[in-house]
Amino acid sequence: MKKTYLLLQILLVLNIAVASAQTPFRTIDSVDINMINAAVLVHGDMFWDPSTQVAACVFPKGGHTKINFASALWMSGFDAGGAMHVAAQTYRQDGNDYWPGPLNAADTLTYSTSHDWAKIWKVNRIDIQYFQSLTAPDLTNTPPAILTWPAKGNTHAQGNGGAALTISGDMAPFVDINHDGIYEPLLGEYPDIKGDQALWWVFSDNGPTHTLSNGKPLGVEVHAMAYAYKRNTLIDNVVYFDFQIVNKSPNNYHNFRLGLWDDIDLGYYLDDYIGYDSAHRMGITYNATAVDGDSSSNPSIFFGAHPPIVGMTMISLPGDFGSSYVPAGSFIYFNGDNTVIGNPSSDTQYNNYLRAQDRTGAHYTNTFAGPAVSCLSYGMGPNTNYVFTGDPSDANAWSECVCNNAPGDRRFVISTNDFTLSAGSSEHVVMAMVVTDTNQHGCPGANFNDIKIVADTAWNVYHNPPPPLPPSGINDINKGGDVRIYPNPAQSLLYVESDDLGIQQASITVFDLLGQTVEVPFTKSNNKISADVSALPRGMYVLSYRSGEVQVRSRFTLE
């Protein structure tokens, strides 16, 4: 168990909240379709379970090793009169700034409404594919996740405990087949999710309490979607977090910043380092020692000699345009103490950390003194917006590994640059948690090569989403004709055989599980096509056959 004193504080606050009838909701669900099992909560925090006070973010899924402890969005902005507004969340020991549910016309959220919206809606792609196969969807055969989806105008929408929801504005995204702006699942409309599995929830910062930062609420509503893919490739080491920030207040905010606070615990929480990769706008946590863990605790919860690396990468930010990406605004750390770089305790300090300033308002500094030279103490050196910007394998760059810092319980804040958030407008931010497979990633000898490759995968898939796979257990999607694809598994040659007279005019395309086309030579003879797949890496692929009205898509495995 981590940070005993902190967790006792949390329990005390929860007991006080019960007495004041402002009890935080413990609704929790997980993205768990691929190699990561990552929890999210309806109050906007992520990766931990307040009911057990332990981390709830496991890699590899099904094991006991944790790769994150707690994380949440932080935001700040200034209204036309110059007044600062702040929203943040940490471990809830000092209260809650965020509450589940949307804001009303008066830019507020009551406890009763928050109770009804204290739900996380979870949809798997296979549920949608099953729903699409129905000829006449009704109240009985429509999957509940699709029927109760909290989209605009859905008369079947249900929230926490089955509470009926009346939704008159834009909320959860959906495929609007008849383009009337109303979600009507019994007419064949369905959730518009990303990935192979998605969670959707909504939270706001002007609810029953605003007691963590104790600042002025922003009056923002956050539409959140966490999603992931299961493709037996590196994308299985990625979970995306898609946030739509909607300004429901009458204020036009300038110098608005949004950041992610993250207390990443990589296995054993007291032997971590952090670093920053500017190319991927990514905060990174890696092991400070070659072996993760200590001898005094349960070794099954540590990575041992094979610690991975975890990153949080900002994929889409306000200001990005096409293939032009703005830099992150800042990347800094703070400690779990009461020093000038300790835990924030006021709205001003939360705002400072979003702007590369410490609790006193002083700017962070670059403490790197050169290779083989002890790093300077905090407060020395020139000002910087980003800390530990070097790869730990580079002796000439600034990293905790090169500085030989004392390992510890690291947490960081990575933020956007300033932008304007006008009344009634919204902005879109997408982040991803990425993790390497368990290899040797501790100091000495640590480097960021592998985690950058996973981050590249996350960025590429976000900008080029792969097509959905056929439903599980259905290898062939066959529309007309009799097409046979064999052998499966294949080793060097794959045959496509058909009685269709148009086989000589047929087109053949092979995709990998990221949806990328792969080149495969093939020959045609009579009613058979022979595809030479011997040069492809082993794995699973999808073959698409098309000849006139005949369409077939089939998965095959190459051994």
Tens digit of each residue's pLDDT (9 = 90 or more) over 368-408? 998 878 899 998 999 999 999 999 999 999 999 999 999 99
Structurally, the chain folds into a number of domains equal to 3
Quick check: helix, strand or coil at residue 13?
helix
In this structure, is residue 31 part of a structural domain?
no
Low-confidence ranges of the chain (pLDDT < 70): 1-21, 295-299, 438-440, 471-482, 499-502, 513-515, 548-549, 551
**DSSP annotation of 377:** P
Q: 4: part of which helix (H) or strand (E)? A: helix 4-19
Distance CA 62, CA 539 (A): 23
Place of tokens 């939704």: 167
Note if the pTM is more than 0.85.
Answer: no
Residue 317: φ, ψ to 5°: -130, 155
pLDDT at res. 508: 83
Reduced DSSP (H G I as helix, E B as strand, rest coil) percent helix, strand, coil of the chain, to 5: 15, 30, 55
| Residue 314 and residue 417 in contact, taking contact as beta carbons nearer than 8 Å | no
Q: Are 399 and 392 in contact (CB under 8 A)?
A: yes
> Do 171 and 226 belong together in one domain?
no
Phi, psi of 401 (to 5 degrees): -65, -45
Query: Is 270 contained in some domain?
Result: yes
Asked if residue 337 and residue 375 are part of one domain, the reply reads yes
User: Domain for residue 502, yes or no?
Assistant: yes
Q: Are residues 350 and 254 in the same domain?
A: yes
Q: Is 228 part of a structural domain of the chain?
A: yes
CA dist 329 and 49 (Å) reads 30
**Within this chain, do residues 452 and 488 fall inside the same structural domain, yes or no?**
no
Which of 199, 228, 245 delimits the end of a domain?
199
In a domain, 403, yes or no: yes
Same domain, 457 and 491: no
Task: Look up tokens 């599995």; give the residue.
Answer: 197
Residue 1 confidence (pLDDT): 42
Round the average pLDDT of the chain to a whole number and report it: 89
Q: Are residues 344 and 434 in the same domain?
A: yes
Q: What is the pLDDT of residue 502?
A: 65
| CATH for 504 | 2.60.40.10
Q: Is residue 278 part of a domain?
A: yes
User: Burial, 393: exposed, middle or buried (Cβ in 10 Å; 0-12, 13-18, 19+)?
Assistant: middle
Residues 337 and 251 in one domain: yes
Statement to judge: residues 399 and 429 lie in one domain: yes
Query: If we measure between CA atoms, which residue out of 168, 199, 197, 166 comes closest to residue 181?
Result: 168
Burial class (CB in 10 A: 0-12, 13-18, 19+), 411: buried
CB distance 120 to 199 below 8 Å: yes
46 found inside a domain? no
Domain of residue 307: give its range. 75-88+219-463
Residue 181 located in a structural domain: yes
Q: Which residues pair with 78 in a beta bridge?
A: 84, 254
